[in-house]
């Protein structure tokens, strides 16, 4: 996902700091997970309204233990995954500034994205499907509450309602 995990404009968080070594038929593989901040996405150590942009790419496989290559690399959902993701959504919106953008990534290989979006009261703005089987969803949300409605109204004499969005291509 990251072009540069050490970009000074970004803060990478993960609930673990570790090095994973795996053997594949094509050779050895090492992945270093070294976040700027070790934190669980259900309890972020940041003040309310700290960020203009928040991206969440949670684990998407429900499994009791951290076994298997994919789970070792990307983590896994616990038994109470619905509560876990509800808390994660709430935390992401809490640390997001008014008018901030929240990008949510989900792979629906096991759990449909509609079931996941039902876990937040926030409405997504738009999304994009990708991957070989089109199961990866990138979903954008825009947090309200910062007076953007007034700014948009003053920008032009558009017939659109201030609560509607404009997409330019």
The candidate with the shortest Cα–Cα distance to 64, out of 54, 78, 80, is 78
Which residue is listed with tokens 């994973």? 20
Q: Is the pLDDT of residue 90 over 90?
A: yes
Residue 38 confidence (pLDDT): 95
pTM above 0.75, yes or no: yes
Nearest CA-CA partner of 35 in 65, 5, 62: 5
Alpha carbon separation from 103 to 34, 47, 78, 92, 139 (Å, rounded):
21, 19, 22, 10, 6
Does residue 27 fall inside a structural domain?
no
Contact 76, 86 (CB under 8 A): no
We report the CATH number of the domain holding residue 79 as 3.40.50.150
Instruction: State which residues form the domain around 130.
Output: 45-155
Rounded CA-CA distance 160/146 in Å is 19
- Residue % of the chain over a pLDDT of 70: 78
Asked if the structure places residue 129 within a domain, the reply is yes
167 inside domain: no
Number of domains in the chain: 1
Cβ-in-10-Å burial (0-12, 13-18, 19+) of 88 comes to buried
Choice between 5 and 58, residue whose per-residue pLDDT is larger? 58
With cut-offs at 50, 70 and 90, classify the pLDDT of residue 168: very low
Q: What is the pLDDT of residues 106-159, one digit of tens each?
A: 999 889 999 999 999 999 999 998 988 889 999 999 998 655 444 444 555 555
Question: Looking at the domain assignment, is residue 140 inside a domain?
Answer: yes
């Amino acid at each position: 996902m990251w072009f540069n995990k050490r970009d000074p404009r970004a803060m990478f968080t993960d609930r673990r700091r570790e090095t994973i070594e795996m053997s594949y038929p094509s050779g050895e593989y090492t992945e270093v997970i070294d976040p700027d901040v070790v934190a669980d996405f259900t309890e972020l150590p940041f003040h309310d309204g700290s960020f203009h942009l928040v991206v969440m790419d949670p684990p998407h496989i429900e499994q009791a233990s951290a076994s298997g290559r994919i789970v070792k690399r990307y983590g896994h959902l616990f038994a109470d995954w619905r509560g876990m993701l509800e808390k994660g959504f709430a935390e992401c919106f809490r640390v997001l500034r008014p008018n901030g953008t929240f990008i949510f990534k989900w792979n629906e290989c096991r759990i449909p994205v509609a079931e996941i979006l039902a876990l937040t009261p926030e409405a997504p703005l738009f999304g994009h499907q990708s991957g070989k089987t089109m199961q990866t969803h990138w979903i954008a949300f825009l947090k309200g509450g910062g007076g953007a409605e007034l700014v948009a109204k003053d920008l032009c004499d558009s017939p659109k309602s201030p609560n509607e969005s404009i997409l330019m291509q």
